[in-house]
Amino acid sequence: MIRDGGIPTPDFAIVDTDQDIDNVTLPYPLFIKPNAEGSGRGINFNSKVRNLNELRTTCQDLWKSGIHSLLIETYLPGREFTVGILGTGQKSFTVGLMEVIFRSMPPTTFIRMI
């Protein structure tokens, strides 16, 4: 939706199987996250991958954890924000803004409401 609205977004691929990984042609580094999950679920320090071996290993680890469809994006440096939107079309509205922050000790995700 965002891309269709004219806002630039990273190039991406959807990966559901090992064979899909072989078809990813995006330039590294890449960022891996669940295709249809809430903010932060399935994202950790291994989400940024630098080569095919890391891509394959991280995808397989996520599949083993129960996440089946993965979104592979061209990595964009910077802060991670999520905006909650309810409704459709002209009846849609935002319900909040959230920043996802990764902490190294312990290695967990911290979510800050803005």
* Nearest Cα residue to 36 out of 74, 64, 68, 63: 68
Domain count, the chain: 1
- pLDDT bin (cut points 50, 70, 90) of residue 7 is confident
Instruction: In whole angstroms, give the CA distance from residue 36 to residue 58.
Output: 17
> Does any domain span residue 2?
no
In a domain, 82, yes or no: yes
Percentage above 70 pLDDT, the chain: 84
Whether 1 is in a domain gets the answer: no
CA distance 36 to 67: 9
Structural domain harbouring 79: 12-113
Is this structure's pTM higher than 0.75? no
